[in-house]
């Protein structure tokens, strides 16, 4: 009788490095496809360079078995009243690495990063159809705060009078 041994790959959560660019780009392109958004290489490259220099922005990557297969962004922003909030977005795990604790580890790292910044709260952008990600945030005492609606404007539509 043979016993199968489950290999335990190492999970590492760390800050983004330029060598991670292609892996993170692929993950973000996947999000763009999911939301039927455009993806601009030039803008993404510029954004990642700026994020590395911005002390109030954290870009985290998840390595599983030595391969980058997840990411999360942590940012600060002021609401219209001038109150500083943290924001976690773009938590994304490659399909082949889902269910291994990477999403939880990324959310924990992003939350810890933001909590050190004297913010009044943390917002999270979560796909309402992604029940697994919703549960990850709920287990960390995140609650539904507001609904955000969007619109894609028609550039050829007549201006309202």
pLDDT at 5 (0 to 100):
43
Q: How long, in residues, is the chain? A: 161
Q: What is the 3-state secondary structure (H, E, C) of the chain?
A: CCCCCCCCCCEEEEECCHHHHHHHHHHHHHHHHHCCCCCCHHHHHHHHHHHHHCCCEEEEEEEECCEEEEEEEEEEEECCCCCEEEEEEEEEECHHHCCCCHHHHHHHHHHHHHHCCCCCCEEECCCCCCHHHHHHHHCCCCCCCCCCCCCCCCCCCCCCC
What is the structure's pLDDT at 72? 98
pTM: 0.85
Condensed to tens digits (0 to 9), the pLDDT of residues 50-104 reads: 999 999 999 999 999 999 999 999 999 998 899 999 999 999 999 999 999 999 9
Question: Which residues, 6+ apart, have CB-to-CB distance to 71 below 8 Å?
Answer: 16, 24, 27, 28, 59, 60, 61, 62, 90, 91, 92, 106
pLDDT, one tens digit per residue, over 112-145 is: 999 999 898 999 998 888 999 999 999 999 988 7
Predicted pLDDT of residue 158: 83
CB atoms within 10 A of CB 106: 26
């Amino acid at each position: 009788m043979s016993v199968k041994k489950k290999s335990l790959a190492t999970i590492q959560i760390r800050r983004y490095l330029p060598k991670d660019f292609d892996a993170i780009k692929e993950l973000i392109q996947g999000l763009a496809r999911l939301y039927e958004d455009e993806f601009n290489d030039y803008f993404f490259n510029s954004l990642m360079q700026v994020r590395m220099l911005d002390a109030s922005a954290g870009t985290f990557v998840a390595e599983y078995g030595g391969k980058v297969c997840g990411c999360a962004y942590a940012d600060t922003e002021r609401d219209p009243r001038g109150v500083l909030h943290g924001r976690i977005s773009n938590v994304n795990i490659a399909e082949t690495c889902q269910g291994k604790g990477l999403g939880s580890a990324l959310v924990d790292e992003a939350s810890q990063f933001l909590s050190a910044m004297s913010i009044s709260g943390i917002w999270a952008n979560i796909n309402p159809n992604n029940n697994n990600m919703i549960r990850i945030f709920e287990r960390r005492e995140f609650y539904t705060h507001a609904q955000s609606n969007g619109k894609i404007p028609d550039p050829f539509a007549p201006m309202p009078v």
